[in-house]
Amino acid sequence: MEIIGEVKEIIYQNEINSYTVAEFETEQEEITIVGYLPFINVGDTLKLVGKIVTHQDYGEQFKVDTFEKLMPQTLGSLERYLANGSIKGVGPATAKKIVDTFKEETIHVLKFEPQKLSQIKGINEEKALTISETFIENWEVWQIVGYLEKFGIGIQNAKNVYKKLGSNAIEEIEANPYVLIDVANNVDFKKIDKMAIDIGLPYNNDKRIKSGIKYAIMCSNLNGHCAVLKENLITFCKELLGVTNEEIEENIIDLKVNNQIVIETRNKKNELENIIDEVNGKESNEQNWVYLTPYYKAEENIANRIRILQNSHNIKEIKNVKTELKKIEKNSDIELSEKQKEAIEAVNENNVCIITGGPGTGKTTIIKTIIELYKNDGKKPVLCAPTGRAAKRMTETTGEEAKTLHRLLEIGKMQEENKIASVEYDIAPLDADVVIVDEVSMVDLFLMNYLIKSLYQGTKLILVGDIDQLPSVGPGSILKDLIESQQVTTIVLNKIFRQAAKSKIILNAHRVNEGKKFLNKEEIENENLVNLNEDFFYINEANQEKILYNIISLCKDRLKNYGNYDFFKNIQVISPTKKGMLGTKELNKILQKNLNPENDLLAEKQIGDITYRENDRVMQIKNNYDIFWERYTPEYESGTGVFNGELGTIIKINEQEKILTIKFDDEKQADYMFQDLDQIEHAYSITVHKSQRK
């Protein structure tokens, strides 16, 4: 059903998700409209598509599915539109003067002869131009919004497209749809490519080939890589675009000349690579790696700034560090190992230092000692980690507040282009003498770039992490690469401490890293491993149905009976894969059915083949810098931003307002529009990779 009319009054509008209840006047009647209507104001003329529904409390309403802004149809509606506050410099009085003066010519004057507006008292030529520019921009943005829908590009992208392409945006896109690759986020290259081919753009058009090359590099970036081998890039693009090697090579050169990509030539890392190339008839010892320019600049910034930090004067050095360490040991009843002392002294002697080791090797004790050491010397340590869970754990183990890197660096909505974070994002300097970053293996390229930019020369940077963990979900393998560069002082902890050695989890983790099997009963007896904690159980089972039965029974009652473990508070199922009977997708469905079954008292929302239900465990799976959240304990706090890997529970599903509310494990609550539920997924079971984001 389609209706056209004017917004007479806005009864309610959610500031976060733009869910709106408004009085709407058509030629036939006034009716209440409800739906998601961003950027809508009183006086707007709209074409609405939707259906009539009857609300049990509020009666008949028009539920909006889609809408389009139209030029005002009457002088009265035009005056109300100009007066609604959306036109810079125009209020009700000025709007009335403009419409009374120019009547049916008002829109023409606003668009094509704005200088005439200066005839009105209170409007000079500069203000007239501002009024005209705002009026034109508002309407052009909305024309672009409608046009971009066919590309699957949403409202928030429209302004970015307008800012970069200007008033001729639609004409430019029609002439070259591939321009959207450069100016909009989350664009489907294949959809754009089909549209370009349909309008007659040749297969070997240079614009098409350049966009295909950048898309190919982005695919690699999304898999965590900062660069791609040139020969692999050419092979991929040849299959994607159906063009020749020579045409791809020419456009790679052109992209390089125009500074959109960087090609770095490196020597091969090992002799095996040379042997393989010799067998394939290749003689060169060099490889060409292709970067999108922001990725290369981020790597370059990190390397250069670490070098600057390292070479800065060590102004935070504690001269009598050994004496101070003895005092700390005596006062805290801690006996540091020689390796731990070596790590602390290395931190004191260097502005940048890496401390790496597996679980139970004493990293936390080192961090606590460093904090006390520098606080006793009147210096300010700052603690941080890449995820909320890691920061919370750091706070609990050290007794000092630790923040996420996003919160510490005050990163709100970063300007991203096609999922490429801005290298030049303006970061405020940190007020810190010593910055300690835990779980560095999870830190990606751009986050490290922002951190390193925030440090004053002379600030100490301590990077702590386990090199054997999986690399970051985002691009880059920061900790591993820094250690392998051998340019940063690195202390490797490999001794398991006595208390940690009682844990089968820790012992087996180290055995796996050493290529050994889990401890068995005979080995425990032979190695005289007494009083081991029963915190690790290995169920040797190959049959998938039996494995599934074990998972369900463990989660439902066996673990609860064993140690009073509650699934929603203490248990996490982790799988190496998404697909298959034991992949996360199927496990989530089965575990939801068994642990949070359908219930008349629990609201739910069906999205495709997925049912979200109140009390479900969920995970945020992409960074959202805009989403508003509130936290009520220990005191009220609000902010924006929920990030990839954060876990929470659905506490409310409101079908009327189309909102789902999640309470995350750090107590913040956020509302999600139903249309934004692609940002979350069930977390009864998560992949190994996702587990490190917790």
Distances, alpha carbon 607 to alpha carbons 19, 67, 613, 678, in Å: 19, 22, 11, 9
How far apart (Å, rounded) are the C-alpha atoms in residues 149 and 49?
A: 15
Looking at the predicted structure, is the pLDDT value of residue 421 above 60?
no
Contacts of 511 (CB under 8 A, 6+ apart): 517, 518, 519
Tokens of 49: 């598509």
* Average pLDDT estimate for 155-179: 77
Burial of 14 (0-12, 13-18, 19+ CB in 10 A): middle
- 419: pLDDT confidence band, cut at 50, 70 and 90? very low
What are the tens digits of pLDDT across the range 633-688?
Answer: 778 888 877 887 889 999 999 988 889 999 998 889 999 988 889 899 999 999 98
What are the tens digits of pLDDT across the range 46-90?
Answer: 999 888 988 767 788 998 887 888 877 788 888 888 887 778 778
Cα 617 vs. chain centroid, distance in angstroms? Answer: 19
Examine residue 634 and say whether the peptide bond preceding it is cis (omega within 30 degrees of 0).
yes
pLDDT, residue 422, reads: 64
- The enclosing H or E element of 70 equals strand 59-70
What are the tens digits of pLDDT across the range 497-517?
Answer: 766 778 888 888 888 888 888
Looking at the predicted structure, is the pLDDT value of residue 417 above 60?
no
* Average pLDDT estimate for 612-629: 88
What is the sign, positive or negative, of the torsion defined by CA atoms of 529, 535, 539, 540?
negative
3-state SS track over 169-196: HHHHHHHCCCHHHHHCCCCCHHHHHHHH
- 418: pLDDT confidence band, cut at 50, 70 and 90? very low
Nearest residue to 584 via CA among 623, 548, 546? 548
Nearest residue to 328 via CA among 364, 356, 370? 370
What are the tens digits of pLDDT across the range 436-483?
Answer: 999 999 899 999 999 999 999 999 999 999 978 777 778 999 999 999
* Average pLDDT estimate for 530-551: 89
pLDDT, residue 568, reads: 92
CB 121, CB 98: distance < 8 Å: no
pLDDT, residue 282, reads: 65
What are the tens digits of pLDDT across the range 78-125?
Answer: 888 888 777 877 888 899 999 999 999 998 999 899 999 999 988 998
Query: Residue ranges of the alpha helices (H) in 471-576?
Result: 478-485, 504-513, 521-526, 544-553, 559-563, 567-570
What are the tens digits of pLDDT across the range 227-256?
Answer: 999 999 999 999 999 999 999 999 999 999
Write down the residue that tokens 């989530």 correspond to. Answer: 588
Looking at the predicted structure, is the pLDDT value of residue 414 above 60?
no
Q: pLDDT exceeding 70 applies to what percent of the chain?
A: 91
- 406: pLDDT confidence band, cut at 50, 70 and 90? confident
How far apart (Å, rounded) are the C-alpha atoms in residues 328 and 638?
A: 38
Under DSSP, the state recorded for 62 is: E
Angle between helices 125-148 and 155-165 (to 10 degrees): 130
What are the tens digits of pLDDT across the range 368-390?
Answer: 999 999 999 999 999 999 887 78
pLDDT, residue 413, reads: 47
How far apart (Å, rounded) are the C-alpha atoms in residues 37 and 679?
A: 20
- 340: pLDDT confidence band, cut at 50, 70 and 90? very high
Residue with more model confidence, 184 or 246:
246
- 545: pLDDT confidence band, cut at 50, 70 and 90? very high
pLDDT, residue 222, reads: 83
pLDDT, residue 561, reads: 79
